[in-house]
Structure 1
Amino acid sequence: MLNRLKKEEGFTLIEVLAAMLIVSIVALAFTAYFGNALTFAKTNQNKTIMSNLARNALVYMQKQDFKRLEAYFDSGSATVVKTGNALSAQRVGITPETFGSCTNATTGACAFRDIFVNGNLQPTMAVLQPTVNGIQYRVVIEYQKDLNRSVADGGTLLLPISATVTPASAGNAGPGADAVTVEGYVNANSIR
């Protein structure tokens, strides 16, 4: 019986510790991988939310009065969203602040509040300042005059615009959520 016990072989303490070290190194590698995958998934979620908000803003703008929208963009009262320099012209558009202070005023940008149905700015503000998952976003509608077509190419029937979505507070929306821009056109009422 004693001989049989001597012949039994097992793992030594050093072999067990070496195996545990190898398993822990592999586990750390997987932990880093899953951490990166989680960050990547959160980045994609943020970009998807911002893309959907931009598309929502474009659809909302496409339902507004074409002639009044065109008059607003061509007026001197339009909000400047990007200043111009010698190489590029200034860009105008609609920001949450454009109509945010309008009550019953009929001057400046407020004179164009009838772009929106019944002059009701509450839905407009909801589109320009949405909150999703507890994070507030800011939407800026920009008129892209340099993309406007000639009259022969149907330029009088389309207004090129873009919607840019950013988090209201920088870094608040998490990784990869700097800004998302979606471009589109507002069609004239005659071709809707």
Structure 2
Amino acid sequence: MNRYKQKVDKERKNFWRREQGFTLVEVMAGIVILSVVAMMAMTFFSSSLSYSKINENKTVMVNLARNALVYAEKQDFAAWKQYFVTSNKSEVTGMACLSGSACSQYSFLVPNSSPEVLARVLNPSVNGVKYTVTIRYQKMSSSSAAALPASVANIKNDTNYLLPIVVSVQGPEHQNGMSGTSVEGYITNETIR
């Protein structure tokens, strides 16, 4: 047994003496491979962060659109009907309503609140980012009405009780070619609320 132990000890010592380490080429190849893997990982995390930021911004815009939709739904139906249907105007935009005094052109649409409130609804700022809201009247075309069942088309065309609107929100990245978001809804007559 003693001989066996001596032989193992001798082989172990020889192994460590023969070990020369890594060559410079092997070290450089390892660094290059590690660098490529690190760059790929950084690209993945960078694109994930960008995608997350886009989704966060989209969520904010959807919530702002819903807020503006609820605000419009609670206003006087007759005033909105007169603006959209009788006056044949198609939109209320935040671009024309940057301040309370500039919003006075829309003041008859919101008789129960001040134009400053409408200006804040149409031009909200969230976390220092400014957005622009546009409320558009969705007039039903004859071709789209023909595609719907008659009962549904009659309801959608009946401006005595429902005004179909689309609320669109644009963020600052709209100038960079990125799109905003839209939410559809109805301003309903007070008699059916």
TM-score of Structure 1 vs Structure 2, range by shorter chain: 0.7 to 0.9
Amino acid at match of 1:124: L
Equivalent position amino acid for 2:123 in 1: Q
Moved more, 162-171 or 148-157: 148-157
Superposition pairs of residues 29-178 of structure 1, within 5 angstroms: 29-76=40-87, 78=89, 92-96=90-94, 97=96, 101=102, 110=105, 113-118=107-112, 120-146=114-140, 149-150=153-154, 155-167=159-171, 170-171=174-175, 177-178=178-179
Higher-RCO chain (CA-CA 8 Å, sequence separation at least 6): 1
CA distance in 1, matches of 2:29, 2:43: 22
Matched with 2:7 is: none
Number of equivalent positions: 168
Paired residue secondary structure (1:42): helix
**Identity over aligned residues, as a percent?**
37
2:156 and 2:121 map into 1 onto residues whose CA distance is 34
Distance (whole Å) between structure 2 residues aligned to residue 19 and residue 50 of structure 1 = 47
Secondary structure (helix, strand or coil) at the match of 2:160 reads helix
The CA deviation string for residues 115-160 of structure 1, in whole angstroms up to 9 with x for no partner, is 3143521111100011112121111100112179426986522110
With the length of structure 2 as denominator, give the TM-score of the two structures: 0.74
Residue 102 (structure 1) shift = 5.5
Q: Which residue number in structure 2 is paired with residue 181 of structure 1?
A: 182
CA distance in 2 between counterparts of 1:168 and 1:30 reads: 29
Unaligned residue ranges in structure 1 (runs of 5+): 79-91, 104-109
2:192 corresponds to 1:191: yes
Q: Within 2, Cα distance between the matches of 1:154 and 1:76?
A: 17
SS of equivalent residue, structure 2 residue 75: coil
Give distance in 2, aligned partners of 1:150 and 1:69: 20
**Change in CA separation of 1:102 and 1:184 when aligned onto 2, cut-off 3 Å:** closer
* Contact 2:167/2:182, CA 8 A, preserved across alignment: yes
Question: Residue 146 of structure 1 aligns to a residue in which SS?
Answer: coil
Higher helix share: 2
CA contact (8 A) 2:170 2:180 kept: yes
Structure 2 residues without counterparts, runs of 5 or longer:
1-9, 146-152
For 1:31 and 1:39, locate their aligned partners in 2 and report how far apart those are by CA, in whole Å: 12
Shift of 1:67: 1.4
Q: Deviations over 1:99-128 (max 9, x none)?
A: 85355xxxxxx4x62331435211111000
Cα deviation code 1:61-92 (max 9, x no counterpart): 000011111111123373xxxxxxxxxxxxx0
Paired AA for residue 93 in structure 2: T
Query: Is contact 2:101-2:116 (8 Å) kept?
Result: no
